[in-house]
Structure 1
Amino acid sequence: MNTLLLFFVCMVVLVIQRTQSEVLHCSGGWVQQCNLDANHKIHCICVPTTPTWTPWGEWTSCTVTCGEGNHTRYRSCIGPRNGKCVGPTEDTQTCAGMTLCPGTWGNWGAYKECSQTCGGGLQIRSRNCSAENGSFCVGDSISVSTCNTQICPGPGVWGKWSAYTDCSKTCGGGLRTRSRNCSAESGSFCIGDSLQSATCNTQKCPGPVDGVWSAWGSFGACSVTCGTGIRFRTRSCSNPAPTNGGSDCSGHSEDAVICTEQLCPVDGGWSEWSGYSHCSVTCGNGFKIRRRTCTNPQPSGGGADCVGVNEQGLLCTKQACPVDGGWSVWSDYKQCSVSCGGGHRLRHRSCDNPPPSYGGQDCPGNSTESEMCNISPCPDWSTWGTYSACSKSCGAGFRYRFRTCPVQNKTLCIGLNYQYASCDLGACSEPFG
């Protein structure tokens, strides 16, 4: 076991070239494994009795000198012939070059207008650099060329140089330019250049700087004036800010907490109408009611009550109700049956106030009523007078007698005031022929 441990730590492989008759002695449970080379020499090593990986070797150089590439390390499987170790023989990982890869220039743009119409001027063209954050392109982004070199008709006077423009790069070497104007009569020119360029920011570009968060600011006001809202606070990735391709800050620039202010006024809202109740009557005309409540929502926090009514009525009609009959008022009494001596008179009423209907009861009692009348005694007739003479002097005839009623109202006396009787004074004689 000590020999095996020494093998893995020191990565020593014992290779001994021996003649065919020579013998290699292995210890610690290892065995000899030999191969014959082209010169008929035997190469022997001590190997473990089971397939075993050697320790990983050193990493190879990165496949790139800038940007991102790969590097690899290897190991070997040793042990009995035809034995196999479990796992790969190589391990590959990504690696970064020593520097950022330079960017790539785009095509040159067209030259701008010449700075002079004659006497030699300058014209500029530019190109753009496509590079990763913090990287740069090798070379200049601005190219200056002479133009309109023909001689001008006469000399002019230069104005003052303008201030230099901003540098085309912040580091790694760029260009800045300045210009001046020529004051000359028509057809004349100024001697010299109207445009000058100079290198700038030649210092080496620094490496990437990762951003770091600033301290949190104070929480702002609550987002609502009543109820539940949110308060925010912020921080910025500026301590320092990421530069030259450095990483942005990890995390959020904004933080929030819940805030609760005074209760908001909530105006009441009506619930849905309930269904209508049963009709208030079982027959005839009635009404039914539906209701709603001010609970959707209930007014709170000083909110207004619901506007409107909480009940609504609706007429309803059932089957006709039984109507019991009712008596009309009594009529006046009719004329007495006699004018004196006690009689009766009647009065009537009708069961029509209202008449019985839809199974209602008839009127109780009688429809007629009588009472005594003219109960004073009737006056007596005088005695009968004597009969009158017979109405005929012969043959059958009749005769009358009369009596008188002693009161002025003759109708109070009962009976007739006359009587008649037959009379016959004998056969009448025949006249003589």
Structure 2
Amino acid sequence: MRQQLCSLWRGGVLGLLQLSLPLCLLYPSLSALPGHTDARAPSLEVYEVVKRTFSRPFLSVGYHQIAEIPAGAQNLSIQETIKSRNYLALRTQSGVSVINGNWAIDRPGVFVAMGTQLTYRRPNEIRSRSGESITAPGPLTEDLHLFLIYQQPSPSVYYEYSIPTQIVHPSPEPETTPYIQSLVETVEPDRPGEVPGDGGLNSNEIPRYGPHPNQGPPEPRPANSWGPTGHTTCSTTCGTGRRQVLWGCVDTESQIPVSDDLCEPAPRPPDQGEDCVTQPCPVHWDLGEWSECTRRCGPGTQQRQVICRRVTHVHGNGTETVVTVASEMCGTADVPITKSTCQLKICSHWQIRTDWSPCSVPCGVGQRSREVVCVGDQGDVEEDGECNMAMKPGTLENCDMGPCARSWFTSLWSQRCSAECGEGHRTRAAVCLIDHVTRLPLESCEGNRPPEVTSCDSGPCHGRLEWYTGPWGQCSAECGNGTQTRSVVCLLNTNGTMDIVDQMKCSRLLPPTLSQPCHLRMCGVQWYVTDWSACSRSCDGGYRVREVRCLADNIVPSDGCDPGVTPESREECNAEPCVAETDPSCQDQYHNCAVVVQARLCVYPYYRTACCASCTRASKTYSDPYLKNHLYRTSPWTHHSPNE
């Protein structure tokens, strides 16, 4: 009304132009003018604008509430700041879905809910770079919950709205002068049929106003004036649409259209829009977009929302106001499906490419392996994460190749005694080896460790009354670890004469050290042998054997030994002829005593008596005790005696 008063005074009552401006400034609305039913000044609302941005790097797939917009909010604007495969969703405080509920994606459009119109936009997925948006003028009649349907990392949503915080009541305006009071009274009161917000004018009427009482008689009415002559076609064929009222020059009395030139120079009023109602639009099924498949590979399911709706308004900008109606209005015979099967691709699977490899050790416990890869539906090798790790076949396992044979190996005794006179020591080395030539700790071999030091006597020594030590003797081993000794005597010093006396006379004195370890050099490669086995016969000539190996300083096999001095691994033994038994009381009482000997039953007294002759011959044949496999070091420059 205020705007029309101002425009009418500026356009039709040119004589009051100077009074119209202060009137529009002093009285912001018709209700504030004197003479109105409410003489008080209008209340002013103060609004607070709330602006927020929601962003997260990662979320779980599904619905996530990001905001709760209170009732009374106005000018609601929600916008995805980054285009993504995520969706916006709205739900009332009571849990009723408004947009994109129940894993079903709605089509863009206008939705009526919570006392306002919600405009949902989703730009073209190919050409546009903008994300989804929802706007509403408000005010909301109840709280609104804003959700994000998360499907892509790093979502970002900006939203803002305004909400009234307080109401301000301005002080009353001073009473206007009678002149202004008379001017206001010339405006006709509101009549039934006027459209609120259009200045109190009916969409099909021309504004009329009376003369000011101080201006004298009114001027004669013009013969022609601008008036409605028709309207455009309705914007829709069903529901409520919009059309434009067309203005033209008409005869004032008959309202018959005449030439527009007859109404000039008065300006043509702007065309006005009005609602046009045709037949109601039929109901239809509104199909939402299919949701993401529930599985990345293999058979899954997807859902969509199917809602029965009706278009009520078609707006000039191409948008529609759609309301949800009962599903029964669309019928139950041809309801579109809301759940369907889907499969993006065939799941990857594990494939065993190779058989188990040989065991890593020839004896004992080792490991073996095989190749297992993840293969896609096209046969290509993919990352292991594409397959189910819980179902992956094993690629490594233990293998037991049985117990390892272990033997003691010793070198030959050194030929030199550690003492030049008296008792001394000779040494040798002892090592533990298994059948695949892997060095083990010394305690891993079976049986006791062979001795590595033995005593030797280099002849008597002369002593003195007091202890006298000679120089250290030569090392007992030409290479490797050995022992060296020195001479100690007890001398009797009488006027410079040194007489050697019995060492017992020096027993009260602390005896000096007689031996110490020595190491001249590394031996390098050399031959090692075991002890001789038992002779195969006790008489008439037999043979015995031993193992011979070439080893380096770190006790590993080597090919560097001199083949010309290789120790013998077999020799003859017990060459003396056998003497026949002459004891008449030692006879076999059974004809099958040979079986008793083979079964080793001669250890029992009964069988020794029943098969006396056979058991006696067997005991002489194997009279030497069984010798364990002790390995001894030999030296290329020493002579090895078989009896050592």
Answer yes or no: same fold by TM over 0.5: no
Shorter-chain TM-score: which interval?
A: under 0.3
> For the pair shown, which has the larger CA radius of gyration, 1 or 2?
1
Pick 1 or 2: higher relative contact order, CA cutoff 8 A, min separation 6. Answer: 2
Q: Please, what TM-score do these two structures have when normalized by structure 2?
A: 0.17
